[in-house]
Structure 1
Amino acid sequence: MSEPIEDPREALMRFDRDNGLLGWSVAIFAVAFGIWHVVTNVYWIEPGKFQNAIHFAGFAFLASMLYSPFGARSETTFARAFDLAYGLAVAAAALWIAWGENAVYDRTLAVTGQSWQFTPLDWIAGFLLIFAAIDLSRRVSGWVIPILIVLSLSYILFLGGHLPGVFRAASLPVDDVLFRSLYNDEGMFGILADISSTNITLFMIFGGFLVVSGASNFVIEISKIVAGRIKGGAAFVAVISSALTGTISGSAVANTASTGVITIPLMKANGFRPQFAGGVEAAASTGGGIMPPIMGAGAFVMASYTGIPYGTIVAVSVVPAIIYFLSVAFIVRIEAMKYDAGAEIDMTVDRAKMFSGGLVFVIPLTVMVWMLLSGVTPSYAACWAIASLIGTSWATSVLAMILPKGTFKPVTMGPIKIGEALISGVRSSIMVAILLVSIGIMNNAIVTSGVGNGFSLMIAQWSQGSLVLAIALIAFASLVLGMGLPVTAAYIILAILTAPALAGLMADSLVVDALVVGISDPTQAALFFLVDHPLATQVGAGMSPEHAWSLVAAIPFELAVTIRPVLVDPAIQMTFLLTAHMIIFWLSQDSNVTPPVCLAAFAAAGIAGSRPMATGFESWKIAKGLYVVPLLFAYTPLISGDWHEVLQIGGFALFGVYATNALIQWYSEGPIGPVFAVMLVAGAVGAYWPLNWAANLAGAALVVTVIVLSGRRARAQEAVVA
């Protein structure tokens, strides 16, 4: 449900909705607000809470002005005045709360044994912020987040005391809930707001600069060169351009809107079915959320929650992203052969646009990647990437004057263009900023009540120790949440609730290994005496794997979180935590392409002129990599292995992915029958088998054999018909 990065002039007009003083004032504020984000992340460091409060204050004001609740009457004088007054009031409340934090502490410490000492103005500002979080999140994303916020507040205020079992929680007084929601690290202006104010907004602004500077021209033109003369070339252009655009926006809907208007008509002209053309664009654009370096804000959230460096998360995401995009390319090839679509058409390349756009695409991204690898913060790297982009645009303008006419078609980033880029980036950040701050209220409720542990226990019990069943449960939960939540919001909620359980299930395999060998350390063995199981006293002698799994299944959740750190190396635990988060993050992407609510597919259907639901099912079939790769995370060292292990797993997995696509389509280079199907199944199993050269080579050989033989059969049938 992410907002697309608009054409900058359209973005400017959205701010300047009455072409008057108010519209221009809002536009100028957006430019200044974007500059403030750059300055405060490089030179002028604000205190954390105050920076986050200013961040929310600015975006709350912009959200109030752009997402009016008055609908068709939003242009009336009363509506504009109300939106302006409401936005300014919420902004003032955020600043007041941040400025008054120390005063609250001082007043409370001066009155020993009393509740938090809020002044009447504190109460008004605090309740207004809570209301604004509910209201503005409804405006930008629908009713799901507001309902969850209300439920989470009700849970810690009074509802938790009436629930049974692990979900029972003590009720807290109103002043305590308000204080925690506003000032805790898990609250509105805490960890999630940090991620938004320091990283996400800057990367969105960088994306705005890339769009305005003409980098998107390079994406389309280079895609034409790479894939334009291949059968099905127009669809391959969609895949490549969406992969490259993913490095700019990280948003499925943004990718669909920006590249789909070019690639979908090309695919239809190339002979592809309208719903397939829309499905390819939606599935390929969904890859924008998993494509480094931006990854739809997920990498920043993951780094914050796991403590793993952002650069590490980006590095381990490269090979999985390649697998996903090639999985989409495979099904494009199969579709082109099956329906004889994608004959060569004219896709003339504008080399001047490609060269000028290429420089402002490649150089800034290279600067960003180099700085990230050198260990600087993502926000610092994004700021310098913006600076390098501006400098590169000026350099291309100079080259255009020196070189023969038509060699370059540069976009000079002068003051007007920089303003457009800042407006585009700030506007595309509004929804994410509002949601991350608002979700802080839910995050605080989950942490304060401990309900996350209860949810993790439920996942562990329902899965009965089965990792694949736990992944299936999380996939279902992500699909349900994704019907009403943006991908990033769905990932955050699922990660808070299920990542510990998933990481724990992976760690349990090592606990079982230790039990099979026998635990000789008496201190470690004594921990199992607290387990109500007949084998608990026999852990020193060793046992069969079946008995070990039986004992592990009987360990209470509260005791398991104590035993695992003792028996499992901390570095391995961190790897399991990263793996769990990567699984959840990938599964959360499926809401973009899975009916009944799949916004990327619906956006593509609108461009393709196809039925939305049919396009949704088509995109779901094409995006099967979203389910294959998480299983590779869980059962292979795709994340934790050495580079040669990762390349072996990823390389041979491509044969398995192709075989899976061919089986679903019941077509390869030609029709497949039962014998070919058996060969593909066996080939997929061998190709997916982790780090077994014999199985991998045999599986790949079987898949290649089917490709060659089915192609020969198809050509033979065509010759007979001819």
Structure 2
Amino acid sequence: MARIWTDEDTDPTPQDGGYEKDVGEVTSVARPLRGPLGLAVFWIGVVTACAHIYLNTFGTMAELRFAALHFGLFGLLCALLYPLYPARSRTGRRVVLGVDVVLGLLCLMTTAYLFLYEDAFYDRGMAFDTWDWIVSGVALLLAMEFARRSSGWLIPILIMISLSYAIWWGPWVDGVFHFSGLSAEVMMMRTYFTGDGLFGPIARISYSYVAMFIIFGAFLVRSGAGDFIIDLARCAAGRFVGGPGLVAVFGSGLMGSISGSAVANTMSTGVITIPLMKKAGYPPRFAAGVEAAASTGGQIMPPIMGAGAFIMANYTLVPYVDIVALSVLPALIYFLSVGAFVRVEAIRQGLTAQAPEDGKTFRTVMKEGWHFLLPIGVLITLLVQGFTPTYAAGISMAAVVVASWLSPHRMGPRAILEALSDGARIAATMAILLVAVGVVVAVISTTGVGNTFSLMINDWAGGRLWVLLILVAIASLVLGMGLPVTAAYAVLAPLSAPALNDLMMADHIVQAIAAGTVPEQMAMTIGMLLPEVAGSLGQPMPLAEAEQLWAQISTLPGNFTAGLSEQLVDASTVAMTLLAAHLIIFWLSQDSNVTPPVCLTAFAAGAIAGTKPMPTGFMAWKIAKGLYIVPVLFAYTPLVNGTWPEQLEVFAFAVLGVYAFAGTFQGCLESPLRWYERLATGAAALLLLWPHGTLPIHAAGAALLALAVWLSWRRKA
């Protein structure tokens, strides 16, 4: 909850919004909010949130100007919230505050300049004058500086490398990355005055979807929905074996969906769930790993998901509602995989089911907090009815306020203002990051580096999809060490998604060739271009022979093979294949939260549990293995682009597979495993998770279920 600090207050604590405050996926040093500064930040946050809500629901403004306003307001907030550097002395802090106030006002000035002089710029034929150079340069430098404050030096370095490549050293590079270069004036014009750079598509996603849903999440949290979620999780999962761990999985997953931050989720729910797990008998490091893994999964949890889902909708042109619907089963697989580790560890430690200590029942919790479900219901209903996500989020905020009137904790004017200010403060760093990342994305598209990189990694993979998946996983991990997951996805998707999409589309084409569905006219054309394959197309053949034919056909010009894919693969499959490629990158971008050496979510959980950071990171990495398993299913199964029966079949066997996977890792299933039983569960896990035919999968599933029943009987006996 936001607080307005007075001069009589003592130094704020981290929980009160003081020196250490979580921002997005990273932890930055925040300035204490006291007296006039606290009051100013509070009301700037309220104004910023109100402006975004109004313009996203009822008002209208040109996209370029809205993006500039978005940058100016959140830049001012970022300048006041996070100091230039942490000065030690009182005088030093005052000097730094004065500098930051000037920088924040300069950020607003760059917005005002665009509003006032955009038309004049176009009237003189888009020729830069002195003030254009100064203001556009200041806007770029401020975006880099505020991004540095929130996520370190990686984004500013990427921006400098990108712009210098496009302007200076691109012509000096030989080979595939040679670029003839653009003038500095053209690049600055594209960066500031057009919808390509700072105020491009990534900024439009930020000012609409990201800002609105973060503010919506702040309303939910302020209304008390967090306590309801934890109580609901206790009642739903607390009575099962390993109940406290399942509470962490269930509660953290739901909270993560509305908080928009894995680290913030860990800090807010972990203070409850980690002591609860330790008290139940879980080892502290395991408890911290479970909380970190579950909190990370909140970013992939419908109905809201993380900010990356909105960027994905923009990249793929697949409606956000469809992305959410198709993400339900994958998210369940992930959380069931974490839950499998929790149950298996509980059995291994000899823990038993425990009733909630407070005596609350599911009926009692629902009676006290059923109204918290109304805003989510309103949101989902509006999305399904075809309203835009931003409009749905705005109406849902009003629904949160109305729903709170049905509880003892009614949201009055002060609570509403606090929710608005909280939402703006939480969104500030993510907004600035996405605006800054827009420069990198613009250079990638302008210079053609994205297509070049895709061709290069495709060549490295040698046409092998599994090699490409490993390369993308490594790239996402490296980027994630210095960037929040949303920014990492926004940068990596234009580079890697085309290569993934091409290889996955090739698989559909091979299946069509094997089925003999190549049109006669197309078969004749290919036969004239490649006489050695004449007469082979248009009739059913073994899959291996179809793969050999495709290897020859793929040597033809790219536009020809693209036309072949359009004729052989229906449009819905093409769209879903592209979505699957982006989902792979989106999921792999989450792994930096739980993968050493830089895994901030695991470090935060370890701090609560009192465990060493790096061992906690490795534990979280082991428990969150679903982040690697599900992308494999996206690539090789119809989990996204199949029919509902096909998707449910993949889901069912994947759940059994991750259960066997957890048992193999922990050496226990329904009872401790002997060495040969552990080998058997490992083999079953591989068979269930790697698509290669229905008979082995069904046999492995039946064998695993039989083994689980036998082990359960042995434990009870």
Fold shared, TM-score > 0.5 on shorter chain: yes
Distance 2:372 2:18 in 1: 23
Give 1:216's aligned residue.
226
Does the alignment pair 1:369 with 2:369? no
More off after superposition, 609-618 vs 671-680: 671-680
C-alpha contact 2:235 2:356 (8 A) present in aligned 1? no
Matching residue of 1:10: 16
- CA distance 1:18–1:686, shift in 2 (3 Å): closer
- Could you give the per-residue CA deviations for residues 182-231 of structure 1, whole angstroms, max 9, x where no partner exists? 24433211211111111111111111111111101111111111122222
Report matched runs for 1:353-432 at 5 Å.
Answer: 354-355=365-366, 358-396=369-407, 410-432=408-430
Q: Which residue of 2 aligns with 1:475?
A: 473
Equivalences for 1:108-187 in 2 at 5 Å?
Answer: 108=125, 116-187=126-197
Residue 489 of structure 1 is matched in structure 2 by 487
Are residues 225 and 540 of structure 1, via their aligned partners in 2, closer, same or farther at CA, if it must alter by over 3 Å? closer
Once the two structures are superposed, residues 508-549 of structure 1 have per-residue CA deviations (whole angstroms, 9 ceiling, x without a partner) of 12333455548555567657988xx88577775778324224
Q: Which residue of 2 aligns with 1:102?
A: 119
1:207 and 2:213 are equivalent in the alignment: no
Q: Which runs of 5+ in 2 are unaligned?
A: 1-11, 22-29
Structure 1 contact 683–701 (Cα < 8 Å) conserved:
no
Q: 1:52 aligns with which of 63, 67, 85?
A: 67
Contact 1:270 1:343 in 2 (8 A): no
Displacement, 1:666? 1.9
Q: Give the match for residue 452 of structure 1.
A: 450
Sequence identity (%): 44
Q: CA deviation at 1:375?
A: 0.8
Checking the alignment, whether the CA contact within 8 Å between 1:225 and 1:349 is kept in structure 2 is no
Shift of 1:80: 1.5
Please tell me the root mean square deviation across aligned C-alpha atoms, in Å: 2.7
Contact 1:302 1:581 in 2 (8 A): yes
Distance 1:667 1:348 in 2: 31
* More off after superposition, 282-291 vs 703-712: 703-712
Paired residue for 2:592? 591
**CA shift for structure 1 position 241:** 0.3
| Pair 1:61-2:76 in alignment | yes
**Which of 32, 43, 65 pairs up with 2:47?**
32
Equivalent pair of 1:275/1:614 in contact (CA under 8 Å): yes
Aligned-pair distance for 1:712?
3.6
8 A Cα contact 2:31 2:81, kept in partner: no
Pair 26,274 (structure 1): closer, same or farther in 2 beyond 3 Å: same
- Tell me the SS of whatever aligns to 2:182: coil
Amino acid at match of 1:432: M
8 Å Cα contact 1:186/1:447 also seen in 2: no
Cα distance between partner residues in 2 of 1:658 and 1:207: 32
- Cα deviations across residues 216-255 of structure 1 (Å, max 9, x unaligned)? 1111111111122222211111011012112312321121
Say which of 298, 303, 307 aligns to 1:288: 298
Cα distance in 1 for partners of 2:512, 2:643 equals 24
**Aligned ranges for residues 665-680 of structure 1 at < 5 Å?**
665-680=666-681
Deviates more, 1:427-436 or 1:668-677: 668-677
* Residue of structure 2 in register with 1:707 after alignment: 708
* Cα displacement string for residues 44-83 of structure 1 (whole angstroms, at most 9, x for unaligned residues): 1111111111111000011111111121348632222111
Q: Say whether the 8 Å CA contact 2:103–2:142 is kept in structure 1.
A: no
Change (3 A) 1:278 1:681: closer
Q: How many pairs are equivalent?
A: 689
Residue correspondence of structure 1 range 531-546 to structure 2 within 5 A: 535=532, 544-546=545-547
3-state SS of 1:488 partner: helix
- SS of residue paired to 2:406: helix
User: Matched residues in 1 for 2:638 and 2:617: separation?
Assistant: 32
Give me the whole-angstrom Cα distance separating, in 2, the residues matched to 1:504 and 1:282: 34
SS at match of 2:87: helix
1-structure distance, mates of 2:110, 2:358:
55
1:9–1:420 contact (8 Å) kept in structure 2: no
| Counterpart among 276, 282, 287 of residue 277 in structure 1 | 287
8 Å contact 1:215–1:357 — kept in the other structure?
no
> Does structure 2 conserve the Cα–Cα contact (< 8 Å) formed by 1:7 and 1:424?
no
CA distance in 1, matches of 2:527, 2:376: 52
In the TM superposition, what is the alpha-carbon distance from 1:575 to its structure 2 partner? 1.1
What amino acid is the match of 1:200? V
Sort the Cα spacing of 1:395 and 1:715 in 2 relative to 1 into closer, same or farther, 3 A. Answer: closer
Aligned-partner Cα distance in 2 for 1:256–1:654: 25
Counterpart residue number, 2:27: none
Cα offsets for 1:593-643 (capped at 9, x unmatched) = 000000110010010000111110000110111111111111111112222
Matched, 1:256 2:266: yes
Q: Which amino acid aligns with 2:120?
A: A
1:643 is aligned to: 644
The residue identity in structure 2 corresponding to 1:419 is L
Alpha-carbon separation, structure 1, partners of 2:224 and 2:624: 29
Greater Cα shift, 681-690 or 483-492: 681-690
Contact preservation (8 Å) 1:648, 1:691: no
Kept in 2, the 8 Å contact 1:166–1:454? The answer is yes
1:460 Cα deviation after fit: 1.0
Give 1:564 deviation, angstroms. Answer: 3.6
Post-superposition offset of 1:346: 5.2
Q: Report the CA distance between 1:679 and its aligned residue.
A: 3.5
Does the 8 A contact of 2:234 with 2:356 survive in 1? no
* Contact 1:679/1:706, CA 8 A, preserved across alignment: no
Contact 1:38-1:202 at 8 Å conserved across structures: yes
- CA drift of 1:661 comes to 1.2
The answer (yes or no) to whether the contact 1:231–1:333 under 8 Å persists in 2 is yes
Corresponding letter in the other structure for 1:652: F
Rounded to whole Å, the distance in 2 between the matches of 1:153 and 1:122 is 18
Q: Aligned residue for 2:322?
A: 312
2:433 is the alignment partner of 1:435: yes
In structure 2, the partner of 1:658 is 659
TM-score with structure 1 setting the length:
0.90
Point out the more displaced range, 141-150 or 663-672: 663-672
- Quickly say closer, same or farther: Cα 1:77–1:246, change in 2 above 3 A: closer
Shift of 1:12: 9.3
Distance (whole Å) between structure 2 residues aligned to residue 90 and residue 564 of structure 1:
48
Does structure 2 conserve the Cα–Cα contact (< 8 Å) formed by 1:11 and 1:427?
no
**Residue type of the alignment partner of 1:243:** G
How many angstroms does 1:472 deviate by? Answer: 1.3
Q: Which runs of 5+ in 1 are unaligned?
A: 1-5, 109-115, 397-409, 717-722
Cα distance, 1:349 vs structure 2 = 4.9
Partner of 2:460: 462
Asked whether 1:70 is paired with 2:81, we answer no
Structure 2 distance, partners of 1:306, 1:81, is 44
Deviations 1:656-705 (A, max 9, x none): 11011111222112222344235424533554476977555433221122
2:36 aligned with 1:21, yes or no? yes
SS at match of 1:296: coil
Q: Deviations over 1:301-322 (max 9, x none)?
A: 1111111111000000011111
> What is the CA–CA distance in structure 1 between the aligned matches of 2:494 and 2:279, rounded to whole Å?
46
- Summarize the Cα distance change of 1:528–1:68 in structure 2 as closer, same or farther, 3 Å threshold: farther
Report if the CA contact (8 A) 1:680-1:702 is conserved.
no
Q: Residue 648 of structure 1: CA displacement?
A: 2.1
Counterparts of 2:69 and 2:56, CA distance in 1:
13
Q: 1:323 aligns with which of 318, 333, 341?
A: 333
Q: Measure the CA separation in 2 of the matches of 1:391 and 1:670.
A: 49
Report the more deviating stretch, 562-571 or 478-487. 562-571
Q: CA–CA distance in 1 between the matches of 2:14 and 2:410?
A: 15
